[in-house]
Amino acid sequence: MKKFTKVTSSAVPLPIENVDTDQIIPARFLKSITREGFGENLFRDWRYDQSHEPKSDFVLNNDIYKGSILVAGANFGCGSSREHAAWALVDYGFQVVISSYFADIFKSNALNNGLLPIRVSEDHLEEIFKAIESDPNASFTVDLENQSLLIAQTENLIQFEIDAYKKMCLLNGYDDIDFLISKRDEIEKFESTYKVY
Amino acid sequence: MGLTLFDKIWDAHVVAQIEGGREILYIDKHLIHEVTSPQAFTGLQSRNLPVFRTDKTIATADHNVPTINQHLPIEEPLSAKQVAMLVENCKDFGVELYGLGHPNQGIVHVIGPELGITKPGMTIVCGDSHTSTHGAFGSIAFGIGTSQVEQVLATQCLLQMKPKKMRITIDGDLPPNVLSKDIILYLLSKLGTGGATGYFIEYAGSTIRALSMEARMTICNMSIEMGARGGLIAPDEKTFDYVKGRAFSPQGALLYEAITYWKSLFSDEDAIFDKEIKYSASEIAPMLTYGTNPGMGIKVDQQVPIQTDHESPESFSKALNYMGLKSGQSLEGMSIDQVFIGSCTNSRIEDLRIVADFIKGKKVAANVKAQIVPGSKQVEKQAIEEGIAEIAEAAGFEFRQPGCSACLGMNEDKVPRGKYCVSTSNRNFEGRQGPGARTLLASPLTAASAAIEGKIVDVRKYPS
């Protein structure tokens, strides 16, 4: 996994609640056997019409919005457990997703792929959407070490939560699997004392 | 302080606690399928690792398989490749595979219980969010991403934060023709798609106790739709009777020993939940969704609302626009185009029996295309033996072969753009059943009646 430390970028607004992973990457694009290439079908059916032409009213097709931070409505990533959703966002170029809360499995998938989900209050989410609305180039700085999100426009520095272990993983580019493999002796010891029917 | 059912199972599976609150959780059974496993096996290969516990891993092909002519090679090249990859990976890594053509093949959450793989007290994971289904047996079962599939393949463990605990208690008798699917759609309409995020739900109360194992699975299956990691129900005699005598069930003295242990799996009287909600069964009615998430549901005799507590006005109107529906409109009497009876939510033998009882001697309306997709080869076989397939075909239903099918439209079974499908599946997201498809989630009985009448009807009007 790539290391994550600090990101300064403008942001792409998606002020819709309950964005499900079927929208992020529709099921018909899950037939790849690799982790790459999903970005081109990110938000496929919101982004392209039936004749595969870009829909002008969708934010990813609007040139004034760009950047590696996606800002979305509450409960982002609900539905299917498909990690392809996180792969698609990363492949497209997003490094951070901000929302007022995330679906659990999506959050875990994002963290396992170096995509930082930042949970902010409803009020702060509103403030961020407003900042982007008034200036599409509004800049945001995410500092993982200090667990802070700076809204340059309002100079508001928001603190966000992340558990210490996951923070360490992201800062160092570690995967859970490396950690778990290092614990195999303990796992085997557990198995010898444990009974399942 | 007493322990919850969830605590008892979880705590028994903690290998170690680590800094920051995470725990190494041991997994008793890992179910895998063709769509979310290839990248995990590639990961193992690149690390030169074996599957750590092949005896705790079982694979099947379900998500993208065709539901006709399963004896022939898969026509769609990408699906064929993904299924071939699963076959190859299972062979290379020594994992038991119930692939196409195998008598145990089927939707992963249907075959687990019917083979006795799913048992009380277990931890079960799968790269599929509807893994919560297995919680009906009093197990901790939840969906995981592909990186976690790789972790479990490599170590039989996951790093997890213990979720909060919620108990939903439902007491009383259900009104006639109201099924467990209506219960979960009702809960969803109350809590919304994010209402249980961060929680693991225990379903309790006399209404839940009175349900069959199949009906309990339907409820636990859709726990994820409320945002919960999973849902579970304390095992009881019904659970033990269901588990007994199945291929992977303990036998003889071991079964006796197992049941003794399983009987200890309940929430203590003084157990504390982070959240408790209570409902009365009498307030539940046949439910249908009208929007583009499973929380957007109403009773069959209610009108499409003007707004909800869970969607902003913009998101709400986007959903109605997609569905071609208006606030104030009644769903009852609305003409529909397609009926899909299947998916890990409602494709078990009991569901098919309910449908067959209703459609026997009747004909599918001329405006409707109706399909039954059994959940597994075993369900298919049983449905044929019991005459259900014959009843279905005589009524004008297609009786197809097992797979996830039109629930997520990964194979050819899709709902055409703009068409209304009354579906027993679990998700009505935009495009879920095919680009532009309009899904109305409902119980098998509501779906069967819609197929016959060609429109949405209140099944309480029929004899129970």
Q: What is the DSSP string of chain A?
A: -----EEEE-EEEE--SS-BHHHHS-GGG---SSSSSGGGGTTHHHHB-TTSPBPTTSGGG-TT--SSEEEE-SSBTBS---THHHHHHHHHT--EEEES-B-HHHHHHHHTTT-EEEE--HHHHHHHHHHHHH-TT--EEEETTTTEEEETTTTEEEE----HHHHHHHHHT--HHHHHHTTHHHHHHHHHT----
Number of domains in chain B: 3
Q: Residue B154 above 90 pLDDT?
A: yes
> What domain range includes position B35?
5-161
- Across the interface, whether the CB atoms of B410 and A27 are under 8 A apart is answered yes
Cβ within 8 Å, pair A28-B198: no
Mutate to test the interface with A, among B27, B86, B157, B254 (most CBs of A within 10 A): B157
- Residues B314, B246, single domain; the answer is no
Nearest to A81 among B144, B432, B435 (CB): B144
Residue A52 CB contacts under 8 Å (≥ 6 apart), including other chains: none
Q: Is pLDDT at B303 greater than 90 in this prediction?
A: yes
Q: Convert the pLDDT of each residue in A44-103 to its tens digit.
A: 999 999 999 999 999 999 999 999 999 999 999 999 999 999 999 999 999 999 999 999
Assess whether pLDDT exceeds 90 at residue B20. Answer: no
Site of tokens 């588990």: B243
Q: Both B182 and B99 in a single domain?
A: no
Of the candidates B226, B258, B283, which is a domain's last residue? B283
The CATH number given to whatever domain includes residue B153 is: 3.30.499.10
Residue from the list A18, A34, A81 with its beta carbon closest to the beta carbon of B293: A18
> Based on the domain organization, do B293 and B433 belong to the same domain?
yes
Q: Quick one: B241 and B297 in the same domain?
A: no
pLDDT at B141 over 90: yes
d(CA B194, CA B228): 8
pLDDT digits (tens, 9 = 90+) for B395-437: 999 999 999 999 999 999 999 999 999 999 999 999 999 999 9
pLDDT digits (tens, 9 = 90+) for B243-279: 999 999 999 999 999 999 999 999 999 999 999 999 9
Examine the domain organization and report whether B30 and B69 are in the same domain: yes
**Dist. CA B187–CA B294, nearest whole Å:** 10
Beta carbons within 10 angstroms of residue B27's beta carbon = 24
- For residue B270, with 0-12 CB atoms within 10 Å meaning exposed, 13-18 middle and 19 or more buried, which class applies? exposed
Q: Give me the long-range contacts of B460-464 (CB less than 8 A, separation at least 24).
A: B460/B175, B460/B176, B460/B177, B460/B178, B460/B285, B460/B286, B462/B177, B462/B358, B464/B176, B464/B177
- Count Cβ–Cβ pairs < 8 Å, chain A vs chain B: 205
Task: Tell me the mean pLDDT in the region B135-148.
Answer: 98
Contact A28 B121 (CB under 8 A): no
Chain A residues 115-134 within an 8 A CB cutoff of chain B: none
| A175 interfaces chain B, CB cutoff of 8 Å | yes
**Are B155 and A26 inside 8 Å of each other by CB?**
no
Q: Give the type of residue at B119.
A: K
Please tell me which of the candidates B79, B128, B194 has its beta carbon nearest to residue A81: B128
Judge whether residue B1 has pLDDT over 90.
no
Write out the E strands in B297-411.
Answer: 297-299, 338-341, 369-372, 398-399
Question: How many whole angstroms separate alpha carbon B247 and alpha carbon B178?
Answer: 32
pLDDT band at B167 (very low <50, low <70, confident <90, very high): very high
Q: Characterize the bridge pairing of strands B96-98 and B420-423.
A: unpaired
B276 and B342 belong to one structural domain: no
Q: Give the model confidence (pLDDT) of A155-188 as tens digits.
A: 999 999 999 999 999 999 999 999 999 999 999 9
Same domain, yes or no, for B110 and B201? Answer: no
Contact state of A78 with B293 under an 8 Å Cβ cutoff: yes
pTM over 0.90: yes
- DSSP state for residue B423 in the 8-state scheme: E
Interface test with B, best of A46, A89, A176 (most B CBs within 10 A): A176
Question: What is the least distance, in Å, from the CA of B266 to any CA of chain A?
Answer: 17
Return the residue of B nearest to A85 by Cα: B145
pLDDT single digits (tens) B97-134? 999 999 999 999 999 999 999 999 999 999 999 999 99
Q: Is B248 left (phi over 0), alpha (psi -120 to 50) or beta?
A: alpha
User: Which one of A20, A29, A168 makes the best mutation probe of the B interface by having the most chain B beta carbons within 10 Å?
Assistant: A20
Mark out the alpha helices in B94-212 (DSSP H runs). Answer: 108-114, 146-155, 180-191, 206-209
pLDDT for the residue B82: 97
Nearest alpha-carbon partner for B332 in B366, B298, B370, B368: B298
Residue B464, pLDDT > 90, answer: no
Quick one: B168 and B274 in the same domain? yes
Compute, in degrees rounded to 10, the torsion defined by CA atoms B454, B455, B456, B458.
Answer: -80
**Per-residue pLDDT reduced to its tens digit, B52-66:** 999 999 999 999 999
- Spatial separation of the C-alpha atoms in residues B198 and B270, rounded to whole Å: 22
Mean pLDDT on B354-383: 98
Q: What is the largest CA-CA distance in chain A?
A: 61
Distance separating alpha carbons of residues B124 and B28, to the nearest angstrom = 6
Residues B272 and B321 in one domain: no
A10 touches chain B (CB under 8 A): no
Of B161, B183, B210, the domain-final residue = B161
Residues B307 and B454 reside in one and the same domain: yes
Cβ atoms A94, A43 nearer than 8 A: no
Which of B141, B161, B181 finishes a domain?
B161
Q: Residue A54 has what pLDDT?
A: 98
Contact assignment for A16 to B314 by CB distance below 8 Å:
yes
How does residue A1 score in pLDDT terms, banded at 50, 70 and 90? confident
Contact state of A197 with B432 under an 8 Å Cβ cutoff: no
The pLDDT mean for chain B works out to 97
According to the model, what pLDDT value does residue B292 have? Answer: 98
Distance CA B47, CA B417 (A): 44
- Residues B298 and B206 both lie in one domain: no
- Could you tell me if B299 and B315 lie in one domain? yes
Q: What is the pLDDT of residues B67-95, one digit of tens each?
A: 999 999 999 999 999 999 999 999 999 99
The ipTM value here is 0.97
Helix (H, G, I), strand (E, B) or coil at B98: strand
Residue in A with minimal Cα distance to B79: A31
DSSP B60-84: E--SS--SS-TTSPPSSHHHHHHHH
Q: What CATH number did the domain enclosing B194 receive?
A: 3.40.1060.10
Convert the pLDDT of each residue in A137-163 to its tens digit: 999 999 999 999 999 999 999 999 999
